[in-house]
């Protein structure tokens, strides 16, 4: 359940991130490059890796901790790039969104670290 959520949402964000990259290339306007980079890396790579880990080690993906981790990774993976885009595109008053998004991503990473430390010695299914 958590792994499907992470895998599906992250590939959707990858497609969005690539569309943004293509849009930047077409318009030759690279102001949103940091938002594009973070959408692809924090929105796709990190949640996708967590989804793969939960597939490889199913006990890691079970329970409230993994569910919390998955939702924080998704919320942060969306909010952080939006905050960056708003801050560079609309003005520094939107930096707070990027800051909150980055902290959400960080907490998700901390939870993921706890889960990996707890479960990575489990035998592969």
Eight-state DSSP code of residue 124: P
Task: Assess 16 for contact with ligand HEM (CB under 6 A).
Answer: no
Compare residues 39 and 79 and give the one whose CB is closer to ligand HEM: 39
Q: Show the CA angle centred on residue 67, arms to residues 123 and 95, nearest 5°.
A: 125
Task: Assess 88 for contact with ligand HEM (CB under 6 A).
Answer: no
Cβ proximity of 47 and 77 under 8 Å: yes
Cβ proximity of 63 and 88 under 8 Å: no
Task: Assess 33 for contact with ligand HEM (CB under 6 A).
Answer: yes
Cβ proximity of 82 and 19 under 8 Å: no
Cβ proximity of 73 and 105 under 8 Å: yes
Smallest separation, CB 82 to ligand HEM (Å): 16
Task: Assess 11 for contact with ligand HEM (CB under 6 A).
Answer: no
Task: Assess 25 for contact with ligand HEM (CB under 6 A).
Answer: yes
Q: Which of 8, 11, 16, 21 binds ligand HEM (CB under 6 A)?
A: 21
The token pair at 57 is 């080690």
Site of interaction with ligand HEM (CB under 6 A): 18, 21-22, 24-25, 30, 33-34, 36-37, 40-41, 45
């Amino acid at each position: 359940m958590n792994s499907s959520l992470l895998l599906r949402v992250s590939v959707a964000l990858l497609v969005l991130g690539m569309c943004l990259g293509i849009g930047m290339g077409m318009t030759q306007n690279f102001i949103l490059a940091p938002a594009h980079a973070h959408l692809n890396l924090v929105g796709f790579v990190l949640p996708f890796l967590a989804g793969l880990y939960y597939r490889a080690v199913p006990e890691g993906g079970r329970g409230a901790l993994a569910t919390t981790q998955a939702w924080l990774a998704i919320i942060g993976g969306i909010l952080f790039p939006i905050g960056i885009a708003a801050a560079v595109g609309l003005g520094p008053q939107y930096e707070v969104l990027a800051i909150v998004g980055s902290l959400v991503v960080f907490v998700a990473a901390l939870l993921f670290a706890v889960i990996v430390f707890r479960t990575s010695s489990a035998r592969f299914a």
